[in-house]
Amino acid sequence: MASASDRVVFVGTAEGLYRAEPDGDRYEASVAGLQGKGTVRAPLVVDRDDPRRLYAGTNRAGMFRSEDGGGTWREINDGIVYKEIWSVDQHPRTGELIVGTGPAAIFKSVDRGDTWTECEQLRTLPTTKDWTFPNPPHVAHVKGLGLYAEDPSLIFGSVEEGWAIRTRDGGTTWQNLKDGVEFDLHYINIMPDDPATIVATSGNGFYRSQDGGDSWSECSQGLSCRYLAPMVVHPARPRVFFTAAAAVPPPGWRRPEGADASFFRTENRADSWQKLTGGLPEHFTAAPRATAGDPEDPDAFFVGMTDGSVWMSEDGGESFRQILGGLPPITSLRVARR
C-alpha cells in the first residue's frame, strides 16, 4: 500500500481547482488553476499513461488539459459544442476520454482531448423531450458516467433529470433506461466484478440493477438522508460502498438547520446501509457534494462539503477527521499520488 505522505487531493470547487497535500494531521491547499473558468464539477482525471497529464472540465469554459501536473492549463474544446461540463472520465484500457455536458450530450476523444466527436444519436432519443432540470432554463445534463474496464464499448450515464442512459457499442447508439429507476439520477457505477450489476445515486435514494440496467429496484434501507452525493466502491471489497447525503434537496439547504447531512456505508452491495458517525459532528448544516476513494489505500474515503471542508476516513469509515477547511464550495474530489 502506498504511503499517505505522497497523497495529493485535487479539489474541484465553485471557483476553480485546488491541490491539497498532507501537512501533519491536516492538509495544506494551494491554487491549482482554472480560477475564473467556473465550477469544476467533475473529478479531475489523471491520464492513465502520464500522471503529470491532467484533464479538468469547467462549467463555463469547457475542457482543459495540463501537461505539468496542474502548473499550467490549455483549453481543449475542438469539437465540444457545449462548454458546460458535468462529467469526465477516461477508459483505463483505451485511454479514450468521455465527457458529459449540459445540455445533455456526450463527447469522446481518442487523441487525449485534441479533438472531440459527439455521440449524436443520444440527442435523437424520443424520451429527451421529457428530460428537464429544476432550475431555469430547465435544461438537463449528463451528471455522471459509468465505464467498465473490460469492455470499452459499454458506457452508462446518469441524466439530471432523465433517468439512465446506456450504450453497448461505444456511443454509436443509446437507450434511455427508465424501468424502476429514479428520474432525478445523480451518479452511476458499473460494478467492476459484475457488469450486469449497475448502481446509481439519485435525488431520492439509491438504485440497483442486476440485469445490466434493463430494470431497477430501490435499495435505500438505512439511508436516513436521500439526496445523494457520488458513491465510492471499495477497491478491494467491491460489495462495500461509501456515500454521503443531504436530508433535503438544495432549496432546503437554506433552512436554519441546513442540509442535515450524513455519511453512509454498505457492506452488502446496498441491501442495507449504516450511518457513519465516528469523529463527525452531530449535525452538518453543509451538504456533501463530492466523494473520493484512494486506489492505493482501499480504506481511505473522502467527502467534500458545500462549506469548503473536506473530511477523511482512513479506517474504512469507522472514524473521520476534517483535513481541509475554508475553501470555496467543494464540487469534486480526486485522489492521486505525487
What are 33-76's pLDDT values in tens digits? 999 999 999 999 999 999 999 999 999 999 999 999 999 999 99
CATH number, position 282:
2.130.10.10
The arithmetic mean of pLDDT across residues 162-185, rounded, is: 98
State how far the Cα of 119 lies from the Cα of 292, in Å rounded to an integer.
28
Least confident of 3-12, 80-89, 282-291: 3-12
Kindly indicate the confidence band of residue 132, based on its pLDDT and cuts at 50, 70 and 90: very high
Q: State the Cα–Cα distance between residues 201 and 257, nearest whole angstrom.
A: 23
Average confidence (pLDDT) over 141-170: 98
C-alpha distances out from residue 318 to 124, 263, 309, Å: 46, 11, 19
* Residues 6+ away with beta carbon under 8 Å from 194: none
State the residue range of the domain holding 312. Answer: 4-337
- Please give the pLDDT value at position 143: 98
Q: Is pLDDT above 80 for 292?
A: yes
Q: Check whether 259 has a pLDDT greater than 60.
A: yes
- pLDDT confidence band for 1 (50 / 70 / 90): low
Residue 206 Cα distances to 71, 166, 183, angstroms? 38, 18, 12
- Other CB atoms within a 10 A radius of the CB of residue 137 amount to 7
SS3 string, 237-305, reads CCCCEEEEEECCCHHHHHCCCCCCEEEEEECCCCCCCEEECCCCCCCECCCEEEEEEECCEEEEEEEEE
Mean pLDDT of 109-134: 97
Q: What is the mean pLDDT of residues 13-27?
A: 94
Specify the number of domains making up the chain: 1
Residue 177: is its pLDDT beyond 80?
yes
The C-alpha atoms of residue 296 and residue 236 are separated, in whole angstroms, by 10
pLDDT at residue 338, rounded to an integer: 86
pLDDT at 108: 98
The torsion angles phi and psi of 4, rounded to 5 degrees, stand at: -70, -15
Closest by alpha carbon to 20, among 59, 57, 64, 70?
A: 70
Q: What three-state secondary structure class fits 220?
A: coil
Could you identify the residue written with the cell 501537461? 67
Q: Give the span between the Cα atoms of 6 and 304, in whole angstroms.
A: 20
Place of cell 449504516: 274
What pLDDT score does 194 carry?
94
Distance CA 105, CA 102 (A): 7
pLDDT band at 329 (very low <50, low <70, confident <90, very high): very high
List residues bridging with 11 in a β-sheet.
18, 333
pLDDT greater than 80 at residue 3: no
CA distance 196 to 71: 40
Residue burial 101-112, b: 16+ Cβ < 10 Å; e: rest: bbbbbbbbbeeb
Write down the pLDDT at residue 225.
96
Percent of the chain at pLDDT > 70 equals 99
Name the amino acid, one letter, at 326.
G
